[in-house]
Amino acid sequence: MEKGREFSSKALEDFTLVESAKQGDEKAFAELLDRYHKSVYHMILKMVRNVDDAEDLTIEAFGKAFKNINKFKPDFSFSTWLFRIATNNSIDFIRKKKLETLSIHSQFKSSDGGEIELDIKDKNLDPQEEAIKGQKIEYIQKVVTKLPPKYQHLVRLRYFKEFSYEEIAKEMESPLGTVKAQLHRARELLFELIKDKKHSI
C-alpha cells in the first residue's frame, strides 16, 4: 500500500476482500460484485446510452477484473482500479462502434471555419489484449454451468462467441424480442448465482 495515502474504511475492506479473492475465495468475489455492480452499470450506461450494451459491458468489466485480480496492487482503491477497467473497456467498445460507421478520414468544420481531420489511433490489439480476448473468463464460465441449459446456450453465444442479438435469434430460430427477454433473465440468474455466498462453484 502506498505510503502516506489514506483510504476510506470501505476501501480498506475491499483490500481484505481482494486478498481473499486472490486465494480463490468465491464469497469475496461475490461481495465485490455486490458492492459495485450497480455503480459500474450506471457509469457504463451513461457512456453507451444503451441498456443491453451496458449490461454486456458490465459483465465484461467484472470478468476482466476477476481474471486479473492477482495483478491488482493497493496503490489505489479497488473501486478506482475496477472503474478504470470498466471505462477503458467501454471506450474501446464505443470507438469500435464509431469506426463501423465513420470513415477515419472524415473531416469536420470547426467553429472558426477550419477543417478538422479525425485522429483515430490504430486500435489493433497488442499481445496482452489478444491474450485476454483469446481466453475465456474462467470465473464467469464456471457460474454459467449452473444456469438452466437454455440460458447456458444463450450466454455462451452472446459472451463467449460474441454473437449479436440478431445472430442469436437466427441461430435459435426465435423472435428477437424473445431472445432479448431470455438474455435479460439469464443475466439476472447469473448475477444471483455469483452473489449467492452459499453457492459453491
- Summarised one tens digit per residue, pLDDT across range 32-80 is 988 999 899 999 999 998 888 888 899 889 988 988 999 999 998 999 9
CATH number of this structure's domain 136-201, picked from the four choices 3.90.1150.10, 3.40.309.10, 1.10.10.10, 3.90.870.10 = 1.10.10.10
Q: Would you tell me the crossing angle of helices 51-67 and 176-195 to the nearest 10 degrees?
A: 40
Contact 108, 116 (CB under 8 A): yes
Whether CATH 3.10.20.30 fits 1-101: no
Q: 479473492: which residue's cell? A: 21
Q: Which helix (H) or strand (E) holds 195?
A: helix 176-195
CA-CA distance, 142 to 26, in Å (whole number)?
Answer: 11
Contact 8, 78 (CB under 8 A): no
Between 18 and 126, name the one with better pLDDT.
Answer: 18
Domain ranges, ordered by start, for the chain: 1-101, 136-201
pLDDT digits (tens, 9 = 90+) for 85-142: 999 999 988 888 775 554 444 444 444 554 444 444 444 544 544 444 444 456 667 7
